[in-house]
């Protein structure tokens, strides 16, 4: 073996080489630490679930809720379930510009993902549902969704399945008559509260520095520095406030909407709520095109560019847009196995 490398000169060269390598590495490591610190303060990692005092999550409720999530026989045409419009395998959104309900009825808006949705200030683009439970219950009689004439009609169908009677009883043991629309909503809500998708971004925040690529980290920095986090904050990267869509210019100019949607004005009738929408959760956003409340934009690059232009009044450079998009890909998480496995629905026996 040749040990000449360990002569005095060789040792110096090696020491120099190590120093040269270590300095930038040290600088990168420090950069990573600083970025983790900043991102943790404004965004932060996803929790393990999204609990709520009014609807404690239990294994019995999750089991029942998952079955009900896939159940089409409680819709007016027997063909609509939550899963139809929020398929788990497509990250809880349907990929359509606007969803299609019972008897092919068109919905007025694009459907957001059902993943990581339960901890928002409200549900729906205009915040007209107070919680995932409220959302699930009202979907049953919603004209463009299940389209059922009444909650009683839903309850009657559910009660006709022995297995549902048993499962509702197990999930709501202290209720005299457990098969109700309210308990449907609680069971589905409990399931939704487990629909969490930890992503490379969360691994990065918890210290796995190579969980995100160099470009993704740069994009995260840009996302913070450019002010996206002024509206898209919290571990959900959104869902915590309402804002006007089109702070600097009318959104219609950029989204080519086929119809003007007045947003939250429809709920509050306050003039200041015209064109105001809930800031959407950006978890898994790369997996759920098309974008915006009207599904009018197909590419994430375009959605990001439009955001810069009309929410921040800035022309983001091509590189900045690409870096941010790259970061948004680091928000694509893993669907938990307990959520992705499909249930067997009760038979009429
Ligand atoms: C016909 C398609 C359709 C069906 C069926 C449907 N949804 Fe939706 N869902 C939508 C659309 C469209 C929206 C957006 C509505 C809006 O904002 O005006 C939405 C919004 C939501 C939201 C709000 C997400 C957010 O970020 O604001 C949740 C949660 C949700 N649905 C869960 C469910 C559950 C649970 C069921 C079954 C009980 C269900 N949906 C049935 C189409 C559907
Ligand atoms: C002033 C608040 C605000 C700022 C700043 C902001 N956004 Fe948004 N963002 C919103 C609102 C509100 C919407 C919903 C628009 C609508 O009605 O469709 C939205 C929607 C989006 C969407 C579409 C999500 C979907 O599922 O359809 C993306 C992507 C997005 N923002 C990324 C960004 C990026 C990247 C930045 C920074 C360059 C940014 N946003 C800055 C408020 C903001």
Separation of 180 CA from ligand 2 center, angstroms?
37
Quick one: tokens of 252? 């219609």
Among candidate residues 240, 248, 135, 148, the one with its CA nearest the CA of residue 185: 135
- Whose atoms come closest to the Cα of 94: which ligand? 1
Among candidate residues 287, 294, 123, 295, the one with its CA nearest the CA of residue 192: 123
What is the C-alpha separation between 69 and 49, in angstroms, rounded?
A: 18
What is the C-alpha separation between 349 and 341, in angstroms, rounded?
A: 24
pLDDT score at 14: 59
Closest ligand 2 atom number to CA of residue 288: 26
User: Left, alpha or beta for 172 (phi > 0: left; psi -120 to 50: alpha)?
Assistant: beta
Q: How confident is the model at residue 13 (pLDDT cuts 50, 70, 90)?
A: low
Closest ligand 2 atom number to CA of residue 324: 35
**What value does the mean pLDDT take over residues 139-164?**
97
* Lowest-confidence region among 2-6, 21-25, 68-72, 145-149: 2-6
What is the C-alpha separation between 148 and 141, in angstroms, rounded?
A: 5
Residue span(s) of the chain under CATH 1.10.760.10 come to 36-47+197-329, 59-196
Tens digit of each residue's pLDDT (9 = 90 or more) over 289-330: 999 999 999 999 999 999 999 999 999 999 999 999 999 999
Is residue 240 within 6 Å of ligand 2 at its C-beta? no
Q: Does residue 224 have a pLDDT over 50?
A: yes
Is residue 291 within 6 Å of ligand 2 at its C-beta? yes
Q: Does residue 42 have a pLDDT over 90?
A: yes
Please give the class, per CATH, of domain 36-47+197-329.
mainly alpha
| Percent of the chain residues past pLDDT 70, beyond the cut | 91
Q: Does residue 256 have a pLDDT over 80?
A: no
* CB-CB contact of 151 with 179 (8 Å): no
What is the C-alpha separation between 105 and 35, in angstroms, rounded?
A: 46
Is residue 280 within 6 Å of ligand 2 at its C-beta? yes
The CATH code for residues 59-196 is: 1.10.760.10
What is the C-alpha separation between 16 and 12, in angstroms, rounded?
A: 6
**Mean pLDDT computed over every residue of the chain:** 93
What is the C-alpha separation between 1 and 26, in angstroms, rounded?
A: 33
* CB-CB contact of 227 with 266 (8 Å): no
pLDDT score at 3: 44
Q: Does residue 258 have a pLDDT over 80?
A: no
């Amino acid at each position: 073996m040749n040990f000449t490398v360990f002569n005095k000169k060789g040792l110096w060269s090696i020491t120099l080489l190590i120093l040269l390598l270590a300095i930038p590495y040290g600088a990168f490591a420090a950069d990573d630490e600083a970025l983790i610190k900043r991102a943790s303060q404004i965004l932060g990692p996803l929790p393990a679930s999204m609990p709520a005092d009014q609807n404690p999550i239990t294994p019995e409720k999750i089991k029942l809720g998952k079955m009900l999530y896939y159940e089409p026989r409680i819709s007016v045409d027997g063909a609509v379930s939550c899963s139809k419009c929020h398929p788990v395998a497509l990250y809880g959104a349907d990929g359509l510009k606007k969803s299609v309900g019972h008897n092919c009825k068109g919905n007025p808006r694009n459907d957001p993902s059902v993943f990581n949705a339960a901890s928002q200030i409200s549900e729906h683009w205009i915040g007209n549902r107070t919680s995932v439970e409220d959302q699930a219950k009202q979907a049953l009689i919603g004209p463009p969704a299940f389209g059922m004439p009444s909650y009683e009609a839903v309850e009657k169908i559910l009660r006709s399945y022995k297995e549902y009677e048993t499962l509702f009883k197990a999930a709501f043991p202290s209720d005299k008559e457990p098969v109700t629309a309210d308990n449907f909503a609680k069971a589905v809500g409990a399931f939704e509260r487990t629909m969490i998708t930890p992503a490379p971004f969360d691994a990065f925040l918890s210290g796995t520095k190579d969980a995100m690529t160099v470009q993704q980290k740069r994009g995260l920095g840009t996302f913070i520095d450019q002010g996206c986090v002024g509206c898209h904050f919290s571990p959900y990267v959104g869902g915590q406030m309402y804002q006007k869509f089109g702070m600097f210019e009318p959104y219609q100019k950029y989204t080519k909407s086929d119809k003007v949607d007045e947003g939250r004005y429809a709920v509050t009738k306050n003039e200041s709520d015209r064109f105001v929408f809930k800031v959407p959760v950006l978890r898994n956003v790369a997996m759920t095109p098309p974008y915006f409340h009207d599904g009018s934009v197909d590419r994430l690059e375009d959605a990001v560019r439009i955001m810069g232009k009309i929410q921040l009044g800035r022309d983001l450079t091509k590189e900045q847009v690409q870096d941010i998009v790259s970061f948004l890909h680091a928000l694509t998480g893993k669907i938990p196995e307990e959520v992705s496995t499909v249930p067997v629905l009760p038979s009429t026996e």
